[in-house]
Structure 1
Amino acid sequence: MEEKAKGITDVVRVADLGRTPGCVNRRTGVMYISMKHINNMPKEHILFMMLHEKAHVELQTNDENLADEQAFKEYAALGYSLKESVKALTRVLDDKNPSHNWRMYQQLQRAEKYDIEKNGNTKLLNHA
């Protein structure tokens, strides 16, 4: 049985990956970053994208929602902006794609829940 990577083993910058800013080979742990996408991307969005790709390797999953969830946990624990975690997806994903819409919605829900539970932001409860 072939052994799979347990984390990121290398980061390779390439000119363009098409429609995605990053991808990873779950078997080798090599992450590929699209310079076309990240040149004008805020550092918080780049971090979130890299944590997302790292989650694919660590969890050995191709489930985008699961990778988003794991990336959010790490991103929020580092103290970065919850709002920027949502923007990291909304500025990259296609809002006309139903699965992308679901991911964006889930990310907003994660950020709101975290803000209520960890930051005590009860203002959000009035909007429910």
Structure 2
Amino acid sequence: MDLAAAQKFADEWVAGWNSRDLDRILAHYTDDVVFTSPKIVQILGDPSGEVRGKEALRAYWAAGLRLLPGLHFTVEDVRASVDTVVINYRNENGQSVSEVLTFRDGRVCRGLGAYGPEN
């Protein structure tokens, strides 16, 4: 993936999140997506920190959107690799977050969220 395509994806990704439109967000993910995040532990109480499949991801993000009515992301930087995009952003609390997203056939098949210190 080149940097222009990665930036275009990041623009669509952040617009989906900031609109709080779960279907718009999930349209970028494969049915068999695997996603890991420490927020999965916090929100779902699952110590593995992992969800598997689009429907499990939907349930996790729906819970997150309910818990965070002020959710808003500001993209700071986008990076591209062969089949991976890294989106560095700040969340509604000003916390630095990196989203690492690996693609298969134009959609995200694996993702992870990594969080910096809370402000």
Q: TM-score, normalised by structure 1?
A: 0.28
Structure with the largest fraction of helix: 1
Higher RCO, 1 vs 2 (CA within 8 Å, ≥6 residues apart): 2
The structure carrying a bigger strand percent of its residues is 2
Instruction: Name the TM-score, length of structure 2 as normaliser.
Output: 0.29
User: Max radius of gyration: which structure?
Assistant: 1
